[in-house]
Structure 1
Amino acid sequence: MKKTIRIGTRDSELALWQANTVKSKLEALGYTTQLVPVKSEGDLVLDKPLYEMGITGIFTKTLDVAMIKGTVDIAVHSMKDVPTQLPNGIVQTAVLARASSEDILVTKNVIDFEKPCTIATGSLRRQAQWLNRYPHHKVVDLRGNVNTRLQKLSDNDWQGAIFAKAGLQRLGYVSEAHIISPSFGGVGEALDWMLPAPAQGAMVIVALENDDFSKDATSKLNDPASEICTHIEREFLRTLEGGCTAPIGSFAEIIEDKVLLKGCLFSLDGKEKLEIEKAVDKTDYLHFGKECALQILKNGGSELMAQIKSQINK
């Protein structure tokens, strides 16, 4: 175990929390590690919606390049930010035990949802699901790390903003009771009706395919149940999107000897909704996500994806 495993990470507070978690776990196993923080393009450009920037890999490609160049050995990511197709020569080595997959609405005051409201989010998926449920509301774009987004919510006259619950929990902003840190002065409400992004709440480790030492070390942190569920969700996403950003949600969970998948595809304005809920034996999970996505595509999804692509590419 003489080799020092250099851990590549974005330099946001949340990314560093994740990388330090992996660092601690590896060191507990006897490995020597070093953090190597970098800035991604997604962190540097905050004045454009993600879908206008070619979202695929916007938060991960800087670390991919660093790994290929040999300046880092592994990278730790929020799995929902990772493209479903990894670059040649880079492989997934571990999915850590998953945290909460829920989205959470952070508000400054009690909201009357019957009245017109302005809700902030940088996610097409959250935007579409929110407008489907509250078509009389307005959704505005919100970019930046967790602290930046909380500050923007505080500084603007929006009624609320949507976050991943896992990120807020990891930074100590929210408890199981959904109370946001007093330093912010807001409260949180879990959105249990909103389907999360595929692999939301999961952390993934990637390494070079030919780096057996790093692959072996990090594979010891893999959680099999989280690996199965995120595989299904990401396969559902990959089959639907075809390289295009779209409002897609999915969540898989293991219930006894079955795996249940809930998936959805929305139009950008939230008016059209296609969804599926299906279970399969756990032993048959490998192509389950693809099968569910193909069913969505067959039932109007192909036309809806073509519409979304034309709207985004305008």
Structure 2
Amino acid sequence: MKAKLTIGTRQSLLALWQSNHIAALLRKEYPECEVVLKKIVTKGDRILDVPLAQIGGKGLFTKEIEEDLLDGTVDLAVHSLKDMPTVLPEGLCLTAITERANVGDAFVSNKYATFEELPLGSVVGTSSLRRKAQLLAKRPDLEIRDLRGNVDTRLRKLDEGLYDAIILAAAGLERLGHGDRISSLIPADVCLPAVGQGALAIEARTADKEVRDMLSFLNDLNTKQATDAERAFLGLLEGGCQVPIGVHADVEGENIRIEAIIAALDGSTILRDTINGKADDAVSLGQQLGKKMLAAGGQEILASIL
């Protein structure tokens, strides 16, 4: 067992909550081990005045942390799984996926209780093309404006009256103690969540068996099977976080159900399908669903975006 573990983390309040949460679990499991955090600024954190979709590239919130992992400056990194590219740098792996928190998208408004209550032409804030496309599919009258910044910044912009409502991940709000700001959860048939939403990913060096063994207790099998399926689907479509793709897998016992959407940017076309099977086959089922949806028109939708 290592005498000291250094966790690489972004500096946002949510990233620090997540890393401190994992650090507390490690200290409890290994009382003799010193666990420290190293704060790292990523490209996605530095560029706040440009929509994410225009910055381009994968790993906007992970690249600098992964560089520190590869050179040995840190021993592990804690990420929101939904921020993680499906292909990692050579020498790194996701060694544990924690038990999933609330997977849904939260509707947050100071005026309205639900998405359905929004008046014609309401202004809604989100930085996610996935959310934008699905919301416009249901309500093409809405004005969707880009919303960047950390959770507190986004809530402040809502409170300043810049938006009638904003959409955030419910898990992030609850982790930061802002669960009371959630007006309602958006149903999955309106807005399917992002790949890996609600789960934390622990990244480490593939060859670092000592650290990986220490982290293994953090792995939640059901969440890992579900998110493996989701990431397999996304990986087949080669979609980064800035493509309107939503996918969510549910594991119940030995069985898994995967539901996915591929959407046009303006929500004018949405392709939706599901697949069921054995949870042990999560990866192949995710890939099967992806192939089926690409053949059914998904390829054309993605070609119009990429």
Q: If the length of structure 1 is used for normalisation, what is the TM-score?
A: 0.92
Separation of aligned partners in 1, 2:202 and 2:254: 27
Counterpart of 2:186 (choices 160, 167, 191) is: 191
Query: C-alpha offsets along residues 99-130 of structure 1, whole Å, 9 cap, x if unaligned?
Result: 01100111011274242201000000000001
Q: Displacement, 1:277?
A: 1.4
* Counterpart-to-counterpart distance in 2, 1:244 and 1:127: 13
The answer for unaligned runs of 5 or more in structure 2 is: none
Quick one: which of 303, 308, 312 aligns to 2:305? 308
Query: Is contact 2:112-2:118 (8 Å) kept?
Result: no
Stretches (4+) displaced over 4 A: none
Letter matched to residue 268 of structure 2: K
Q: Which position in structure 2 is the counterpart of 1:12?
A: 12
1:265 matched residue in structure 2: 262
Q: Is the 8 A contact 2:83 2:241 kept in 1?
A: no
Show the counterpart of 2:34: 32
* Partner in structure 2 of residue 183 of structure 1: none
The reply on whether 1:293 has 2:298 as its aligned counterpart is no
SS in 2 for 1:220: helix
Tell me what 1:84 maps to: 86
RMSD between superposed Cα atoms in Å: 1.4
Structure 2 partner of 1:125: 130
Is the 1:26–1:33 contact (alpha carbons within 8 Å) kept by the matching residues of 2?
yes
Pick aligned residue for 2:155 from 137, 150, 153: 150
Say whether 1:249 aligns with 2:246.
yes
Q: Aligned-pair distance for 1:286?
A: 2.8
| Counterpart Cα distance in 1 of 2:5 and 2:211 | 7
Cα distance in 2 for residues equivalent to 1:22 and 1:36? 13
Contact 2:2 2:210 (C-alpha < 8 Å) held by counterparts: no
1:28-68 CA-to-partner distances (Å, cap 9, x unmatched) read 11132111111111111111111111151000001001111
- Whether 1:279 aligns to 2:276 is yes
Match of 1:109 in 2: 111
Write the distance in 1 (CA, Å) between the matches of 2:168 and 2:120.
22
What is the DSSP-based 3-state SS (H/G/I as helix, E as strand, rest coil) of the residue aligned with 2:59? coil
| Alignment: residue pair count | 299
Q: For residue 188 of structure 1, what is the amino acid of its counterpart? A: S
Q: Tell me, yes or no, if structure 1 residue 217 matches structure 2 residue 214.
A: yes
Indicate conservation of the 8 Å contact 2:94/2:204, yes or no. yes
Alignment check: 8 A CA contact 1:26 1:32 kept: no
SS in 2 for 1:36: strand
CA distance in 2, matches of 1:151, 1:136: 25
Q: How high is the TM-score relative to the length of structure 2? A: 0.94
Give 1:203's aligned residue.
200
Task: Tell me if structure 2 keeps the 8 A contact 1:241–1:305.
Answer: no
In the alignment, which residue of structure 2 is the partner of 1:51? 53
CA distance in 1, matches of 2:97, 2:4: 21
Residues 172-202 of structure 1 deviation map (CA, whole Å, 9 limit, x = unaligned):
101xxxx31xxxxxx5211013100000000
| 1:159 corresponds to 2:164 | yes
Look up the equivalent residue of 1:3 and give its one-letter code: A
Conserved 8 A contact 1:55-1:245: no
Instruction: Give deviations 1:195-216, integer Å, cap 9, x for gaps.
Output: 0000000001011112111111
CA contact (8 A) 1:43 1:145 kept: no
